[in-house]
Amino acid sequence: MSHNAESTAFRSALEVIRAVEPRVADAIGAELTDQRESLKLIASENYASPATLLAMGNWFSDKYAEGTVGRRFYAGCQNVDTVEALAAEHARELFGAAHAYVQPHSGIDANLVAFWAILADRVESPALKKAQVRQVNDLTEADWFALRRELGNQRMLGMSLDAGGHLTHGFRPNISGKMFDQRSYGTDPATGLIDYDRVAEAAREFKPLILVGGYSAYPRKVNFRILREIADSVGATFMVDMAHFAGLVAGKVFTGDFDPVPHAHIVTTTTHKSLRGPRGGMVLCQPELADQVDRGCPMVLGGPLPHVMAAKAVALAEARRPDFADYAQRIVDNAQALADGLLRRGATLVTGGTDNHLVLIDVSGYGLTGRQAEQALLDSGIVTNRNSVPQDPNGAWYTSGIRIGTPALTTRGLGTAEMDQTAELIHTVLTQTTAGANADGTPSKAKYTLDADLADKIARQATDLLAPHPLYPAINLT
């Protein structure tokens, strides 16, 4: 697509939207402006290509397509079959997976599909066998009672939330914490690193049905070969959630023991984040789980979103190009440069650095909570998110950490020199922010003080840093 075609496509789309609801068109335009002017350091965000974005705005949105390729519950899905098959093909080839299921709407949905596929495959109850061979309406109330009892209270072992795990790995606020009897493994208090011997000990004691690997805020590589050996030693299914680092796997930055696909029975991921696709999910699995995974809709998913599957196909095709491997390596190079810049300025980083795309700053050294730091940085044009650190005294709401990542800025073309300048901006804001007090004089975990002129100055410097690397330079909405 030519630059002129990109600009024409998006400008024309906004004109059509504006004719119906101008406030939506205004909000879309404002979002592009905000993203162009802000240092986007949220580790789970990126910028999808114009081709990926445009693939979502079309007539596929109007199709119902329950079922799988060639086996739909609705007629007229031949074109949906084409894009879903293409997305699955690209996923298999990109990751070296035996089977790919591209229908999940999100990472949480992908995890739910994986959980239920494992349960249906592993739990050998009479009621479950009946459910697989008989019509659901034929099951008696006693059958349903036995089925609920058998599927419930299965055991899951995953990384703890404060060590970098995710809500969907068995924590109570999420449905996974209600489905499973869950226990967590943490990290070594001295280093912040996974202690595989302790994970093995926990697995032997707890005997989980599912061992979950993967993370949302752990700044190091994970040895998936060792985790698979632990899972095998206790007869557990090994599941990996690679939502955050899928782009590093696709770009062959993580290989061998650090690539989860050859080692796990089942792998889930989002398609955005470091993979740089549309917001959505995906499941990769070994052949023995394929039939159960393909029942994701209607097992736990609503109707597939064909327009998003089309965008997944486009993004996965982009990720198979040679330049994506270079992009993935630059993500890690930039993250390490950002970490080094912060360390030189006296910041405290969880694990002392990073091997992947993210850096976790312990902001308690600045006298702040994560919530105070997050908002002060946002006031200064730097978009981050607060995050727990190991053994966090402030809990999961206020937190003691800030999680930052480099996928988005790397997409814009920023390099290691700009990462050092970014570290300087972050450090300046955090050192100049002071914790506030409540009305009764007690320390506040949310209120803070930052000179407004300084915040404006940093925001201008952030915009200047981005200026040589324009976002979507071919797109002009005026």
Q: Which of 183, 279, 345, 447 is catalytic?
A: 279
Cα torsion at 424, 392, 216, 373 (round to 10°)? -30
Residue from 273, 312, 386, 445 carrying the catalytic annotation = 273
Q: What is the DSSP string of 386-415?
A: EE--TT-TTHHHH-SEEEEE-HHHHHHT--
Active site residue 197: no
Whose CA is closest to 128, among 136, 251, 86, 253?
136
Instruction: Give the C-alpha separation, 398 to 369, whole Å.
Output: 6
- Tokens found for residue 355: 């091997």
**Main-chain phi, psi angles of 327, to 5 degrees:** -60, -45
Question: Is 273 marked active-site?
Answer: yes
Question: In terms of Cα–Cα distance, which of 249, 288, 261, 293 is closest to 103?
Answer: 293
d(CA 402, CA 369): 9
Answer yes or no: 66 catalytic: yes
Inter-CA distances, 20 with 10, 29, 77, Å: 16, 15, 29
SS3 159: strand
Distances (CA, A) of 207 to 45, 174, 181, 233, 287: 35, 22, 11, 10, 24
Distance CA 171, CA 167 (A): 5
Identify whether 472 is a catalytic site residue: no
Task: Clarify whether 64 is annotated catalytic.
Answer: yes
How far lies 85's CA from each of 41, 52, 312, 350, 393, in Å?
34, 17, 11, 41, 48
Helix, strand and coil content of the chain, in percent to the nearest 5, comes to 50, 15, 35
Which H/E stretch holds residue 141? helix 141-151
The two most distant CA atoms of the chain are separated, in Å, by 70
Considering 37, 45, 66, 229, which one is annotated as catalytic?
66
Q: Which of 36, 37, 45, 64 is catalytic?
A: 64
Q: Which of 269, 270, 271, 351 is catalytic?
A: 270
Which listed residue (143, 241, 392, 418) is catalytic?
241
Q: Which of 113, 106, 104, 144 is nearest to 127 (CA)?
A: 144
Extended beta strands in 102-236, E state: 154-159, 180-185, 210-214
In Å, what is the CA distance from 59 to each residue of 6, 416, 458?
A: 19, 42, 43
Active site residue 270: yes
Rounded Cα distance between 414 and 338, Å, is: 11
Tokens standing for 221? 């590589």
Question: What residue type is 392 in one-letter code?
Answer: D
188/218 Cα distance (integer angstroms): 12
Catalytic residue ranges: 64, 66, 241, 270, 273, 279
